Structure 1
Amino acid sequence: MDAPLAIRAAGLTKCFGNVVALDGIHLDVPQGQIHGLVGPNGAGKTTLLGLLLGLAAADSGRLEILGTPVARALAAPEGVAGFVDGPGLYPSLTARQNLAALAALHGDDARTSGIDDALDQVGLTDVADDRANGFSLGMRQRLGLAAALLARPRLLVLDEPANGLDPAGTRHVHRVLTRLAAEGTSVVLSSHRMDDLEALCSEVTILATGRVVFSGPLGKLAAENRELDYRLRTSDPQAACRLATDTAGIHVDDDAGARDAQVLVVRALVPALDELVARLINAGIAVRELAPVVSPLEAAFLALIEPQETDR
């Protein structure tokens, strides 16, 4: 049975003067899913996130969030939290005071009691009493996430939440988002970091010039992509190169061998790559590394937006 939808959007259009920011957007996000939103600058991602957060209203189309149709009047839908273009913080206040001010603004005792827990979840307990104006970009992003968590959202909308994060901060954010999704919270995550999307998202939507050019599972996106380049390191590079050259559907990058004789770069679809690996093993050649030069998601993303950019 299909999961209930946290977001159901059909034909969303938004214009700013003569600029069409969104052009007939369709988007379905099931409950408990982390859904990635990607696209080049100017694709319409920020505008779409703003509609989900109630910061703007669509000119036309239908939008339903958490089972409730969104009215034209601007208002944050109940059960939705997040930020666009970075979190809004009071720089002269500490992390704890920022969250306390937010809780007081909503008059919510439950939010006040959850301040310490929210800070702990995003890894800011040790700097809870430091002023926000001394925070790094990554720390401000984590504090913004903590502010969103105070609302105990059923839909979390985040714009570049990993921006400026170090590895420890990234691990904290990934852990929080994964747990929330497991508990049934839906997350819409906009990011230019393909590694974050691949680690977190079960489905992605790619926007280009205000339109959806792909929406679906990551596996389907990679499968529909054209040939990819792979780095291949083996116990016998010369023999591996001969086998690769003789395998149908495999194209060897001769320039890569000139740069590093131990690494072979081949271009292939997955079935041809599988055939090459089988032939290497049968020949007694150990495969020590096999990885895409560019991740399948990034390659597919570039392949999908290149025609759009060419038309401009």
Structure 2
Amino acid sequence: METTAARARGITKSFGDVVALDSVDLDIPGGQVHGLVGPNGAGKTTLLGLLLGLSIADEGTLEIMGTPVSRVLGVPDGVAGFVDGPGLYPSLTARQNLAALAALRGYASSRASEVDEALEQVGLTDVADDRLRGFSLGMRQRLGLAAALLTKPRLLVLDEPANGLDPAGKRHVHRVLSNLAAQGVAVVISSHRMDDLAALCGEVTILATGRVVFTGPVAKLAAESGDLDYRLVTSDPAAARRIASATTGLEVVLSAGALRDDSAVVVRGSVATMDALVAQVVGAGIAVRELGPVVPPLEAAFLALTGADDSPAEEKSEQKDAS
């Protein structure tokens, strides 16, 4: 039976005159990666801090593993993670950092083998005895994850865990988090990377100005995006453009990105109309070499739900090409 790792009801938190969280309701089930996203200043860091016991809500209730969180600062039992990057010691080695952090959290009895296991999980075995001051940002993120894993958490809370990671490092971390969720751990991650969310999360919660504007399955969020701009590359772009112009429900978009590539056509429509277009293009003997959204569906839904979707298609395409 699925358990609820964390449940928030009516959570409100202010800092002076600034309302960081405004009556937030949130359910985080065990055995799943839950994404937390929102524009800068939306309240993500504040909510993560509450889950980690780093601050206390002004109003509302918060339960962790079925236990109400008290009005005293402290990390709830079974919870681990970090906000704004892990707290580490630059003068110590990776191995020494884990031993020291385990002792601070009351895990002084952790065996050396458990430290080695945590380092191996995050792919840092080869640098276990290197001092942290020489680590890259991505390596520090992975060491922070290793420190959290030492506590055998039931709720893991991570702020931008893929920050600074190269593609191989990101795949490694994704695999670790997916395995934890498969073992029943509730994983909460904040991220500005929609590709990370699509690859990892079963559900997402979007915050805007301290309020929840969406919470639910990733598939449902993608459906919120509606019509999207798609970049279509074919062996005969002129013919593809003519077919697209004659297809009901599709609009050919003049895109700065497309103009820099003679083989590309940008069209706007639903998934169903794109399916119809591809069938017609292929039926006409034209090879489809590339097809994909100019802005990923999750990102488009995020922009629409947070009120940030105010840039024209041409500008979005330029941003995509520059990234």
TM-score, normalised on structure 1?
A: 0.94
Amino acid at match of 2:142: R
Indicate the residue corresponding to 2:133 in structure 1: 133
Which SS does the other structure have where 1:196 is aligned? helix
Residue identity in the other structure for 2:298: L
Equivalent in the alignment of 1:102: 101
Q: Match of 1:42, SS?
A: coil
Hey, what's the Cα distance between the residues in 2 that align with 1:254 and 1:66? 52
Tell me the equivalent position of 2:202.
Answer: 202
Structure 1 residue aligned with 2:212: 212
Number of aligned residues: 308
Q: Equivalents in 2 of 1:57, 1:161: separation in Å? A: 23
Deviation at 1:90, TM superposition (A): 0.9
Amino acid at match of 1:94: T
SS state at 2:289 partner:
strand
How many angstroms apart in 1 are the aligned matches of 2:46 and 2:11? 11
Deviation of 1:255 after TM superposition, in Å, equals 3.9
- For each residue in 1:87-134, what CA deviation from the matched residue of structure 2 results, as whole angstroms up to 9, or x when unmatched? 000111100000111222314423654100110111111111111111
Residue in 1 aligned with 2:23? 24
Cα 1:111–1:175 shift into 2, 3 Å: farther
Change (3 A) 1:189 1:277: same
What does residue 53 of structure 1 align with? 52
Deviations 1:21-74 (A, max 9, x none): 000111111111101101111100000000000001111111111121111211
How do residues 66-85 of structure 1 correspond to structure 2 at under 5 angstroms?
A: 66-85=65-84
- 1:175 lines up with 2:175 in the alignment: yes
Q: Which moved more, 1:12-21 or 1:110-119?
A: 110-119
Letter in 2 for 1:44: G
Percent same amino acid among aligned pairs?
71
Residue of structure 1 equivalent to 2:321 = none
| Code of the aligned partner of 1:160 | E
Q: Distance in 1 between matches of 2:83 and 2:112?
A: 23
Within-5 A mapping of 1:208-247: 208-247=208-247
Deviation sequence 1:275-305 (CA, Å, 0-9, x none): 2122223323332211111111111111111
Unaligned runs of 5+ in 1: none
**Secondary structure at the counterpart of residue 147 of structure 2:** helix
TM (norm. structure 2) is 0.91
Q: Which residue of 2 aligns with 1:296?
A: 297
Letter of the 1:278 counterpart: A
Change (3 A) 1:116 1:252: same
Q: Are the structure 2 counterparts of residues 84 and 269 from structure 1 closer, same or farther at C-alpha, using a change threshold of 3 Å?
A: same
Contact preservation (8 Å) 1:209, 1:308? no
Determine if contact 1:44/1:210 at 8 Å carries over to the other structure: yes
* Matching residue of 1:279: 280
SS at match of 1:6: strand
**CA displacement at 1:307 relative to structure 2:** 6.1
Task: Say if 2:38 and 2:208, in contact at 8 Å, map to a contact too.
Answer: yes
Secondary structure of 2:219's counterpart equals helix
SS in structure 1 of the partner of residue 27 of structure 2: strand
Partner amino acid, structure 2, of 1:187: V
CA RMSD of aligned residues (A): 1.6
Task: Give secondary structure in 2 for the equivalent of 1:212.
Answer: strand
User: Secondary structure of the residue that 2:232 maps to in structure 1?
Assistant: strand
Task: Sort the Cα spacing of 1:259 and 1:72 in 2 relative to 1 into closer, same or farther, 3 A.
Answer: same
How far, CA to CA, are the matches of 1:25 and 1:284 in structure 2?
53
